[in-house]
Amino acid sequence: MAAGKLFIILLLAVSVVDSRLDPLIRLPSDGESNGEDDSVGTRWAVLIAGSSGYGNYRHQADVCHAYQVMKKGGLKDENIIVFMYDDIAYNYENPRQGVIINHPDGSDVYSGVPKDYVGEEVTVNNLFAVLLGNKTALTGGSGKVVDSGPNDHIFVFYSDHGGPGVLGMPTYPYLYADDLNAVLKQKYAAGTYKSLVFYLEACESGSIFEGILPEDINVYATTASNAEESSWGCYCPGETPGPPAEYYTCLGDLYSVSWLEDSDAHNLHSETLKQQYQYVKTRTSVENTYFSGSHVMQYGNLDINTDNLYLYIGSNPENDNLTFVQDNSLPIFSKSVNQRDADLVYFWHKYKRAALGSSEKHEAHKELLNVMSHRLHVDQSVELIGSLLFGNEQGSQVLNAVRPSGEPLVDDWSCLKSMVRTFETYCGSLSQYGMKHMRSFANICNAGVKTEIMSKVASQACTAVPSNPWSSLHKGFTA
């Protein structure tokens, strides 16, 4: 009898041990896992809106909405770091003062958002200092940084304009792909995270990671577009669905609102990064038609995409009883606006709505002419430089050449930045629109053109610079 009791005790002990080793075996005291890892450290989120101005309303709306997702998901304010210029909510053009919406019927997403880095504090240097946890490198701001440890999960969301190999900032210089990836590698080498997820909304956003982001530093990235196409704004005036009648700017971006609205609607304990990627990919492609849509991409360590979203952005307790359904009920956008043309939509509708003969009408007309003049000047200048360097027949072909998939945009990133500064010295600022030509400058470098030759040619191509704020160098160089 004593031997029998001893056997039962030993058997129970083995069962307890096995239940800890085998995830399929659970004692009643173990409870449900809900996809959670009890060993998870702190969840960190860094949210960046890289633009300014009411015409770029959508980028700050995306980021504010992301904050609300994180907050409802259980992340603490001390672990959510927000970069935004903060010139939208109380902008004189905003019809709902102190309120930002990211959906035509949406609630205020601005309320409660931390003002960690605003205005001229939204810089590349401050972003890198925050990611690396380096408080001494900060200039202004709240002082919050990602002070993470080896078991922590980090989520980064960036929404803005972009171009091949570059992301915009409301301050100069812009953020270049080589510098960002170097910081990610440095963060990994420091051993201060378990895994990092990066969601990126921008034109040609795939070029930020393609051929550059290593697969072995525990970073998983998804992008709104591939390396050679635009991303798209949504909830824009004149489109379907559009914003409330009093708005004349886009409220969101197609990729961004797709992952945000998906996160609002599901139990993120059970939805994986891969499931969200597939859903966002379908919605952003307009059901694989790519009519006013783009190719959502993924890069880095793809094994991470089997993780549940909860590990990075938490989950709203109100959704705990919901399950992920592949056939999502959120609507497909019938029409969106190319991100690069969203400012034209804004300026046109602003002009169209102003009263005839009013000072507002005159000023809106001036703004529209300025932005169109700047675009024309940049396009023509780059085209002429290509012709002077490579001949009339070969110029366009060389400038627009796209490297094979998997290769980085350029071999020498220092050369690329030097070419940009040389162009701007003689031809004026590229500004947010001119980022579209970054591939041209990269191809000039890849062709072996020296800076001295570029200087000579640029001085010939640009004998005058338009006198408008877009072309002005008052903010410095973009590189």
Q: Would you please indicate which residues are annotated as catalytic (active-site) residues?
A: 161, 203
Contact criterion met (CB below 8 Å) for 210 and 180: no
Provide the token pair at 13.
């002990």
Provide the token pair at 453.
């030759």
Separation CA 75–CA 55 (nearest Å):
30
Residues constituting the chain: 479
Contact criterion met (CB below 8 Å) for 199 and 300: no
- DSSP state string for 173-213: S-EEHHHHHHHHHHHHHTT--SEEEEEEESTTGGGGTTTTS
Separation CA 230–CA 338 (nearest Å):
6
Widest distance between CA atoms in the chain: 104
For 42, counting Cβ atoms within 10 Å of its Cβ (0-12 exposed, 13-18 middle, 19+ buried), the class is: middle
Of 331, 346, 144, whose CA–CA distance to 254 is shortest?
A: 331
Contact criterion met (CB below 8 Å) for 276 and 259: yes
**Number of other CB atoms surrounding residue 134 within 10 Å:** 15
Peptide bond into 331 cis (omega under 30): no
Q: Is 370 left (phi over 0), alpha (psi -120 to 50) or beta?
A: alpha
**For the stretch 440-472, what's the b/e string if a residue is b when 16 or more beta carbons lie within 10 angstroms of its beta carbon?**
bbbbbbbeebeeeebbebbeebbeebbebebbe
Ramachandran angles phi, psi of 60, nearest 5°: -70, -30
